[in-house]
Amino acid sequence: MTEPEKPRRSDQTKSAILAAARDRFAGHGYERTTIRAVAADADIDPSMVMRYFGSKEGLFEAALAIDLHLPDLTAVPPAELPRVLVRHFLDRWEGNPTGDALLVLLRSAVTNDQAAARMRDIFARQVAPALVPALAAAGPGTARRAGLVSAQLLGLALTRYLVRLPAVTALTPDEIEDSYAPAIAAVLGQGQSVG
């Protein structure tokens, strides 16, 4: 019987660097995060960060590799689509809002052009393609509606997890879903037909 392969030390070092980078970028944003600070948090020499990631930009890209893990929305009945979208993002963010790479990126995107471009790319490549087939029956303007839904979901993340607006943080996920789904439905062209 073969023994399971032990993780290589370089993999452990990279993982430690990426975890420290996510925490730093989340807490301090892109501009105030330094290679030295990340290295100190990971308890390694700064040259190791440079060896594995080349630059602060390379580290940022690697730390914020994001897959939204959107479900197959074409299988979702149109009346349930708004609730499915809201619940999907809430479930993702409620698990660990301070360590979620998407929220780290959102925080950084406010002040950094590279982060903003990355955020646009993620939503353009993942949200729009997932929504457009599900909205095909809604007629023209599906790409525009997908963009507006992205804006709504990012606005929710910004106010609940980053700005921590008391009126929004006081709500339970179920209350947010009940209140937010009709707004998403309106943008999707469903009026108030949310189940």
pLDDT beneath 70, residues of the chain: 1-8, 96-99, 136-139, 190-195
Q: What is the pLDDT of residue 3?
A: 58
Residue 138 in 3-state DSSP?
Answer: helix
Same structural domain for residues 124 and 144? yes
Q: Are residues 114 and 48 in the same domain?
A: no
Let me know whether 50 and 136 are in one domain. Answer: no
Q: Kindly state whether residue 25 falls inside one of the protein's structural domains.
A: yes
55: containing domain: 9-63
Confidence (pLDDT) at 175: 97
Same domain as 96, residue 25: no
Same domain, 112 and 180: yes
The answer to whether residue 84 sits within a structural domain is yes
Query: Rounded distance, CA 144 to CA 142, Å?
Result: 5
Whether 2 is covered by a domain: the verdict is no
